Amino acid sequence: MAVTLVSTILGLAIFFPAAGFGGDLIVVVYLLVIPSLAIILGGFAAGNPLSSVGASREMKLIIAYELPFIVAIAVPVIKAGYSLNLSQIMLFQQAHGAFIGTPSGFIAFLISLLVIQAKLAYIPFDVPEAETEIMAGPYLEYSGGLLGLFKLTRAMLLFVLPLFLIVLFWSGVSLSSWHLLAGLLKMVLILLLIVVIKNTNPRLRIDQVLRFFWGRCFLLVIFAVLLAYLGL
């Protein structure tokens, strides 16, 4: 349900900008946390020790990446005149150029891309379900329809999260045929980057994930916010 609502809000921002509302960016950020919370609750409710370990790791993973993600989102907000409206952020880029073409926007985009990797629990951030360690983690005791819901949510996030980045950092998508094609190419490029990161890195331990996001990523994104404040 949460991912469906995010898809609806992004669709309104892209295709019906006038139907958007102030603060929809904040709503999207909150809704994107719900799938991870569902995984945590499902893992602890399963009653299996390995599921509990996976749920605990998922909880730590959220703690690790949410702070850099929120700070990274502040970059397009600042550059768009402190707007929290997705439509206004997208239209500002279409009028003045994509934020990804600026130093602050590029850094924030890269950090957000890594956060997406963690939200999807893809390597190197797949510690919650690490098959070789805790089998399927929080999904261990689930099968059939319930497991299908978890997997379907993950598949929907694989489409929604790149689209969210395109709206925030890469001018979004418009209805003309050329811009629709450009939007599709942007989506393919982001998915390609996700696959490359997934297939060229080893799994990190949860303590390494925490140090990575709270250390390098957080410092970089703070630097990006300072650059955005300076207009760079």
pLDDT surpassing 80 at residue 19: no
* Angstrom distance (rounded) from CA 178 to CA 192: 21
pLDDT in tens, 132-187: 777 777 888 888 888 888 889 889 999 999 999 999 999 888 777 777 888 889 99
pLDDT the model gives residue 68: 95
In this prediction, residue 217 has a pLDDT band, given cuts at 50, 70 and 90, of very high
Gap between the Cα atoms of 14 and 89, Å rounded: 11
194, amino acid identity:
I
Q: How many residues does the chain have?
A: 232
Residue-averaged pLDDT of the chain: 90
Residue 112 has pLDDT above 90, yes or no: yes
Contact indicator for 85, 19 with CB cutoff of 8 Å: no
Q: What is the mean pLDDT of residues 60-78?
A: 94
Count CB neighbours of 82 within 10 A.
Answer: 8
Residues 195-206, mean pLDDT to the nearest whole number: 91
What percentage of the chain has pLDDT greater than the value 90?
56
Q: Which residue has the higher pLDDT, 99 or 20?
A: 99
pTM, two decimal places: 0.92
Looking at residue 90, its pLDDT comes to 92
Residue 137: predicted pLDDT: 79
Domain span at residue 192 reads 2-229
Q: Tally Cβ neighbours within 10 Å of residue 19.
A: 12
The pLDDT of residue 188 is: 94
Q: Which pLDDT value is given to residue 46?
A: 82
Domain count, the chain: 1
Report the alpha-carbon distance of residue 144 to residue 121 in Å, rounded: 21
